[in-house]
Structure 1
Amino acid sequence: MPDGVVAAPPAELSPDDPLAGYLLEAAGAVDIRHLDLNSPALKALKDAGVVVVVPMISAGSPIGMIGLGPRKSEREYTIDDRHLLTALARYAAPAIRVGQLVREQKAEALRRERIDQQLNVARLVQRQFLPKSLPDLPGWQVATFYRPALRVGGDFYDFIPLPGGRVMVVIGDVADKGLPAALVMASTHALLRAAAPRLICPGAVLGKVNELLYGDTPAHIFVTCLALLLDHASGQVTFANAGHDVPYVRTADGVAELRAKGMPLGLMPGMSYEEKTFRFRPGDRALLHSDGLSEAHGPGREMFGFHRVAALAGRGASGQDLLDMCLRELAAFTGPGYEQEDDITLLSLERMPREPTDPPSPAGGAR
């Protein structure tokens, strides 16, 4: 290296700057004093007193440059000086690139570690709000299944006890992933728990929760939710639906749908939710589910679909048998090596057939 060389401060060089292309083509030390390009980087280098720039290139890509000011001896840089600088840059560039890759890998590892920590917190939040046990409903059989996806979603379900021995069954899904979904799920769960005992009616409960979520939820996040008010003694249910997957009921006459109109929660203010009723007869069984089942994709990107869910709802010797059958059919549909795309939540609610010694139930009530 010639004595008295003064290194100038580095300049930012974007890939679309004309100087970047010029240096890549030159592939050696360049005297920039008489270089005329419409380049912000070139202007900055000249303003800093740089007279010679040496590009640092690795694997055909520029990774930086060396900028040198005038020599203290006021002599010009000779051809030998430039050859030496170019050779040094060629030796240094691969080592610098390796250092850059190591830093990038460390940054990526830290980013992934932070994401994993967030996912672990989200999973913990999600599981904390799932019921620890199933409700004791005389004359009914309840079965549930929940399996989170690799990326945490926002599925939830609950059995909220109400006055008079009734219970509100809720199942929902937050339209997002990760920690935000888990936090919105926790908030929705708490709001449902607070509103249900006061308002009782499923439509009113969903309307109240919708208003509260709309003001406090990010614009891109919303919640689908089904609320079903069950009088287990009579078999009467009143239900409302905020955009959630339609439940299916196996009856003696075939598979029925519990349809009610309503927008997802947190999407628009001032929403009302249609309420409908259904009376479970002994032997009737409902399948409540999230879109982790119906929207799962097979190898050809075909969706599992509601028609398959409806067909499964009419099968199975028991509620648990039905849920197991859903999972077996899903596994056969998606094939080996399938990576679950979304949380899967299944809930079976069956009114058990009466024993021969049981007294007949009172007549009346719409189906």
Structure 2
Amino acid sequence: MPVSQLPSQPTDSNSSAATDVTPVVALKELVARLHREQNKIQDLLSSLGFALRSFNNLNQFLELIPLMATRVTDADGSALFLYKPNGQVRLEQLHWQDSHQRKHIRKALETATSQITLLPNTAPLANATGVLDAQMHRYLGPDMQIFGTAILVKHAERGWLYVLSRDPEYSWTETRQKLVRLVADQTAVAIENDELAVELRKKERLDQELEIGAEIQRRLLPRQCPSIPGITLAARCKPANRVGGDYYDFIPTKQNQFQLNSKDIISLETGRWGFVIGDVMGKGVPAGLIMTMMRGMLRGEVLHGNSPAAILQNLNQVMYADLENSHRFVTLFYSEYDPKNRILSYSNAAHNPPLWWHAATKTVTRLDTLGMLIGLDTNSEYEDAQVQLEPGDTIIYYTDGLTEAASAGGDRFDEENFVDAFNLACRHCNGAEEILDYLFNRVYQFIGADKQNTDDMTLVVLQVNG
């Protein structure tokens, strides 16, 4: 056949074009596959973030972690280990693609972790990784590739997230490391959120208990000042916390017959009344519990009809053992007022001496006797004293929260300023309630109106009618 009649052959240019098409198609397919993989990873991480925001149960969230770690890294499976407070390493969750092998993998991992016990509150947590890796290689076999990253909560290692693969070509690339790190960080956030939620619930329960304690204490303190012939009373207690250690009371003695109505305590006979103020060393719930115990015991002692000094002595002996065990002490000033003759009998157990303003001379003196703290010495002895009050005289019982109140600069209000303020109040204020308001206002102006008092403040004003 002549050469001119032979079938035409493809030219070099057509052959080159056909050869070039194949790499372009392959490249497009690769780009498309990478794009799909990227979208898949973004969707998985997005779902994990949604679960973190939505799940209230930590265990439900942790069930997703190995599944997510497996899928974003294209591994055969993943295992989540957490450290327990008792020092044990526990397999928390496992995901394995092949359901037939999952049981054997789980058994091998549980056996591996059962051989590890970490000492709590010591450094070995830092060495846990090497021990755990060695045990996993031992029980999973040499053909298993193991890659992991730590679960860090507040910079403390709390467990490990592992990626597992039996593919000999599987490589622990930088991208896979970053993806597992993202999943591990989400796990750490979930653990921390759960612990914060537990602490919040504990705090809420404590707040409820404190509120109940504060309400009980408010009910134990007098709700109203009693109506006693010849005198006017005013009182206020401002605890630093919801439960405080300050105490004051108005106690009818056994010579008194009285009844309660919705507003006041009304005395039917003009017997003596006990006026008491005290301060338990410390603040908060422990001080409040001791104050409550002391109130009940003191009221029982008053009914025996003893003198103020004998009442304090008996109270000290009864409370000594409990106070010694709690390493706390009580200052207490107890007095009894007789409306028939305006005589105030009293005894002091190391409390701030009440201030007595004499209407006739416009001067201030202190009511004090020798006596030790309640609970300091079982053999403490106390002294009795009496004063005759005159029309217009005013007495204030107070705790050191008022005189020790501190300004923003650290200065104390101190007793000298308190005496001056009391003297001024008695000269210009009209009645016991105005004196009470004036003294509290002076103290709050000194420390700053927006500043919380750091100690309990209690004040009782007794004014003899003019």
Distance change in 2, residues 1:247/1:91 (3 Å)? same
Report the equivalent of 2:326. 219
Secondary structure of the residue that 1:341 maps to in structure 2?
Answer: coil
Secondary structure of the residue that 1:141 maps to in structure 2?
Answer: strand
Larger helix percent:
2
Report the AA paired with residue 97 of structure 1: A
Distance 2:338 2:251 in 1: 12
Report the AA paired with residue 449 of structure 2: P
User: In the alignment, is the contact (CA less than 8 A) between 2:147 and 2:172 conserved in 1?
Assistant: no
Distance change in 2, residues 1:82/1:209 (3 Å)? farther
- What is the deviation of 1:348? 0.8
Question: What number of residue pairs does the alignment pair up?
Answer: 332
Q: Does 1:145 find its partner at 2:236?
A: yes
Q: Pick from 306, 318, 325 the counterpart of residue 438 of structure 2.
A: 325
Q: Does 1:308 find its partner at 2:417?
A: yes
CA RMSD of aligned residues (A): 3.3
Report the equivalent of 2:282. 176
Q: Does 1:230 find its partner at 2:337?
A: yes
Distance change in 2, residues 1:62/1:109 (3 Å)? closer
Distance change in 2, residues 1:85/1:199 (3 Å)? farther
Distance change in 2, residues 1:65/1:145 (3 Å)? closer
Report the equivalent of 1:208. 314
Distance 2:366 2:169 in 1: 87
TM-score by length of 1: 0.78
Distance change in 2, residues 1:181/1:344 (3 Å)? same
Report the equivalent of 1:54. 148
Report the equivalent of 1:123. 214
Distance 2:222 2:124 in 1: 63
1:4-42: per-residue Cα shift (whole Å, max 9, x none)? Answer: 76544275476852662x79xxxxxx7x3xxxxxxxxx4
Secondary structure of the residue that 2:303 maps to in structure 1?
Answer: helix
Distance 1:14 1:137 in 2: 64
Report the equivalent of 1:111. 202
Distance 1:193 1:276 in 2: 20
User: In the alignment, is the contact (CA less than 8 A) between 2:118 and 2:124 conserved in 1?
Assistant: no
- Structure 1 residues not aligned, in runs of 5+: 24-29, 33-41, 354-367
- What is the deviation of 1:339? 1.2
Instruction: Between 176-185 and 208-217, report the one with greater CA deviation.
Output: 176-185
Distance 1:352 1:310 in 2: 21
Larger radius of gyration: 2
Distance 1:154 1:241 in 2: 18
User: In the alignment, is the contact (CA less than 8 A) between 1:130 and 1:158 conserved in 2?
Assistant: yes
- What is the deviation of 1:159? 1.6
User: In the alignment, is the contact (CA less than 8 A) between 1:202 and 1:240 conserved in 2?
Assistant: yes
Distance change in 2, residues 1:129/1:66 (3 Å)? closer
Q: Pick from 341, 346, 356 the counterpart of residue 249 of structure 1.
A: 356
How much identity, in percent, do the aligned residues show? 29
Larger RCO: 1 or 2 (CA < 8 Å, sep 6+) = 1
Distance 2:218 2:153 in 1: 49
Q: Pick from 360, 374, 386 the counterpart of residue 265 of structure 1.
A: 374
Report the equivalent of 1:187. 293
TM-score by length of 2: 0.63
Secondary structure of the residue that 1:314 maps to in structure 2?
Answer: helix
Report the equivalent of 2:395. 286
Secondary structure of the residue that 1:108 maps to in structure 2?
Answer: helix
- What is the deviation of 1:173? 2.0
User: In the alignment, is the contact (CA less than 8 A) between 2:278 and 2:351 conserved in 1?
Assistant: yes
Secondary structure of the residue that 2:304 maps to in structure 1?
Answer: helix
Distance 1:126 1:157 in 2: 11
- What is the deviation of 1:60? 8.8
Report the equivalent of 2:247. 156
- Structure 2 residues not aligned, in runs of 5+: 1-74, 78-100, 141-145, 257-270
Distance change in 2, residues 1:97/1:210 (3 Å)? same
